[in-house]
Amino acid sequence: MSTVFLIVYLFPKSGKFKYNFEKGKPWQSENLYAPFDFAIKKSNEEITQEKERISSNAVLYFNLDSIIYNGVDNLFDSKFPEVFKDTIPKQDYEQLYITGKEIIDELYLFGVLEEEYNFNKDKSVVVLNGRKTIHKTLFSNLVELNEVPSMVSASILEKGLEPYKTSYLSLFFDLVQPNLVFNKSLTDKALQDEINNISYSRGSVKRETLIISKGEIVEGDKFQILQSLKSEYESQLWSEANYNWILIAYTLLVSLALLMLLLFLRKYRIDVFENNTKVTFIFFNIFLIILITTLVVNYNSKYIYVVPICILPLVFKAFFDARLGLFAHVITVLLLGFIVPNSYEYMFLQIIAGIVTILTVSELYKRANLFISVGQITLIYIVAYFAFFVIHEGSIETIEWETFMWFVLCGLATLFVQPLIYAYEKLFGLVSDVSLLELSDTNTKLLKELSNKAPGTFHHSLNVANLAEACANEIGANAMLIRVGALYHDIGKMKNPVYFTENQSTGINAHDELSSKESAKIIIEHVIDGIEIAKKNNLPDRVIDFIRTHHGTSVVYYFYSKEMKLLDKKVNKHDYSYPGPKPFSKETAILMMCDSVEAASKSLKEPTSTKIDAFVENIINKQIEEEQFLNANITFKEIESIKKILKRKLANIYHLRIEYPE
């Protein structure tokens, strides 16, 4: 239940528009009438255009320094006699003075700018003296300092005073000072006020008004009205009662989805269902994916495809199997449909990608396989997204190629699954194929110790591992797991190696000095000893299961029958039986068959194909009669396939040739 509440907490707490529609496509539902009054919202393009128009028409504010004009005018009166002496004609002297006054008035009519600005010449300008508006004009009427020489020259030429041009320019170069300063803060504030006053709606729709009819194409105003209704429906304020109802509804849906997963585990993966750690691990990963996706959507939904959802089936396949991985992936994607935009498109892409992940990724411990599979997953994302875009837009002209980069990043993020699997192994005590590969190395400390203390048992384990791996490949079982299980299944024999025939190199049998019951006890205890050694060396539970079950509840028949003959009466069979449990998976069942066949094959004298066939049949049929495979999910057909493999492998071991007719 904690997972349900955590997931519901991440879900949006508003209503969800119950109709799906696409621009340019027919309306598939019945005639739609407005359920309440609502405003028609402007599209993003309309809002953007309006903002651009306001920005282009925004008024510029400049502060005027009124003292500058009087200072320049007075300075002109004092400097003019110094530049132009009384020696020049009186008429020219007076004309030059009048022209200078006119130029000053023209320059400071609206003002002289402090610096150059790249504003449009048609922009409106307000000149302020303190808080008082002095002028309202265009930016083109304001004078920039670099324009002063040209204005002075033009006035001189117009008055016919060209001989005095150089002196006049020199005079005004020292004379003119800017008196306008751009008020950026006020300009920006005025612009922002105008943008804030933008109306985000245009018109309204009254309750019970027909919005769209069935079969009508969703385009133009119809599309915008539907978008407005959807937005209004999902963003309206909810009362406490509505809010509680939404929470209850989400809780029911999430509970239903997770219940389906639990039912799947109970029916098809009972060993996982009964293991609280594994169930917690599954739910934790589902919640983690939903949490990461929610955070990305809340930040920016355009990055939604960067989240490596396909890590989920990869992790579950590594620790469990493909069917559980795909089932959990589909459940997770269905839950994400409540959070992500364009939920149908998103779910289609992710489910297809999950299927490809399950089908293509095999033998995760091989790095090349993971890289190839990630490339295939990325390609599927790109192809599916491209197809959806063309269906929606009808062309590729407006396609956002940037999205393809998100898919590539998603593929690269999927490669993070390798270190993630390692971390999960340490946190949850699980075992993956990568760890199994490490354990299958015969140079590990435990297997080296086995080869030193019990070389015959070590050789027997290698033979069993080869037989079991071949059988597992034949019926589609986990070959890596069964190989590791076979290598370690007899490590308990290290405690008393001389009591097992494969380690008796001197010809002396240690059992000759023991009673049948004592001998049977030592033989049986190698299972218990093996479990203790395995736990001491931190072997995974999946490997220890092979040690527990490789003899099931079978009887140490040699000592049992010996005791029966000796006492000539009925003997307690329980004293000569292994404690079990019986094999409970295909892999543990295969190991039991291969272990019994390989051990007993040493007693074959002058083996022939006929003898080997009968020998394998007798051993495995006896195990079936004793119901050793009753708890294992293995079929008679698979058992027959295993028999064929064992017969062929034993024939190869004994180098048997085809018997030609005489």
The per-residue DSSP string of 169-225 comes to HHHHHHH----EEE-HHHHHHHHHHHHHT--SEEEEE-TT-EEE-TT-B--HHHHHH
Q: Bridge partners of 180? A: 64, 113
Which pLDDT belongs to residue 545?
Answer: 93
| CB of 489 closer than 8 Å to CB of 447 | no
Which pLDDT belongs to residue 417?
Answer: 83
- Helical segments of 503-585, H only: 516-536, 541-549, 557-567
Distance CA 537, CA 544 (A): 11
Sequence-ordered list of residues with C-beta below 8 angstroms from that of 609, at least 6 positions apart, any chain: 647, 651, 656, 659
Give the Cα-Cα-Cα angle 355, 361, 362 (nearest 5 degrees): 130
In terms of residues, how long is the chain? 662
Residue 129 dihedral angles phi and psi, to the nearest 5°: -115, 95
Closest CA to 595 of 474, 440, 436, 488: 488
**How many Cβ atoms from other residues are within 10 Å of residue 281's Cβ?**
21
Q: How far from 172 is each of 13, 166, 302, CA to CA, in Å?
A: 71, 10, 60
Closest CA to 289 of 234, 339, 219, 237: 339
Amino acid at 173: F
| CB of 218 closer than 8 Å to CB of 150 | no
Exposed / middle / buried, residue 323 (Cβ in 10 Å: 0-12, 13-18, 19+): middle
| CB of 332 closer than 8 Å to CB of 309 | yes
Which pLDDT belongs to residue 662?
Answer: 46
Would you give the distance in Å from CA 72 to the centre of its chain?
71
- Residues 433-471 as b/e (b if ≥16 CB within 10 A, e otherwise) read bbbbbebbeeeeebbeebbebbebbbebbbbbbbbbbbb
Which pLDDT belongs to residue 241?
Answer: 58
- Helical segments of 429-454, H only: 433-439, 445-453
**Token pair for 192:** 């922002």
Per run of 10 residues, the mean pLDDT along the chain (length 662 residues) is 78 62 71 78 82 88 89 87 77 84 88 86 88 87 87 83 82 86 90 86 80 78 77 60 74 90 89 87 92 87 85 87 90 89 83 86 66 83 82 70 83 83 82 82 91 92 94 90 94 91 78 83 92 91 92 85 71 83 92 92 81 91 92 92 92 63 48
Give the pTM.
0.59
